[in-house]
Amino acid sequence: MSFAKNLVAFAEKQKHNPENEFDYERDKIVIVFDGDIFEEKVQGYEELITRIENTDIAGVTNPGFELFLLLNIEGSYEGRIKGHEEGFLNVDEDGKYSYAYNVLRDLTGMNAKKNPEIGKLADNVLIAISQEKRINQDIHDLKGKVSSNIGKIIEEIVNEKPST
């Protein structure tokens, strides 16, 4: 959880950096982190989300961001997520939530943590937005659930009306 708290502190620093021209009236920072760190009885999740949502936007994937990357691949919900939720939420022999990472690697042939080409999946973000609606998007209720609200955030940004 300290990593997520560090992200909040980093976001606050960025707001005060004059080079960023942060407008406190209009701007928000999206703080994205993996929910898997809270699966193992870590306390303070709801307090952290509330703190972020007071001024910014919390983006959470459970178990990890590879889940959202996977959603960018057509048919991945039906073929790789639905019915396999338990696999996503179980730790491997190294104590990590590797299932989403492994499925993504198998589908793309890429190491999502090291290969910058993985960013090309963003070309399919509309697919991810659509498929994400079939999993839990409520970040206040994600423990024990395959979850993501990243597509929801992107959709809200895309659909936001410019202020006049």
Parallel/antiparallel/unpaired status of strands 30-34 and 57-62: parallel
Q: What is the pLDDT of residue 161?
A: 78
Rounded-to-integer distance, Cα 97 and Cα 81, Å: 14
Can you say whether residue 75 is alpha, beta or left, with left for phi > 0 and alpha for psi between -120 and 50 degrees? left
Residues in the chain: 164
Q: Which residues contact 84 (CB under 8 A, 6 or more apart)?
A: 99
End-to-end CA distance of the chain: 39
The structure's pTM equals: 0.91
Count of structural domains, the chain: 1
Domain membership of residue 91 (yes or no) is yes
Domain of 49 in residue numbering reads as 2-159
Pick from 162, 163, 143: nearest CA to 35: 143
Domain membership of residue 164 (yes or no) is no
Q: What is the pLDDT of residue 1?
A: 55
Overall average pLDDT of the 95-118 stretch: 95
Q: What is the pLDDT of residue 87?
A: 96
Three-state SS at 1: coil
Domain membership of residue 24 (yes or no) is yes
Domain membership of residue 12 (yes or no) is yes
Task: Give tens-digit pLDDT for 32-64.
Answer: 999 987 876 567 899 999 999 999 999 999 999
Domain membership of residue 114 (yes or no) is yes
Tokens at 137, concatenated: 């998007």
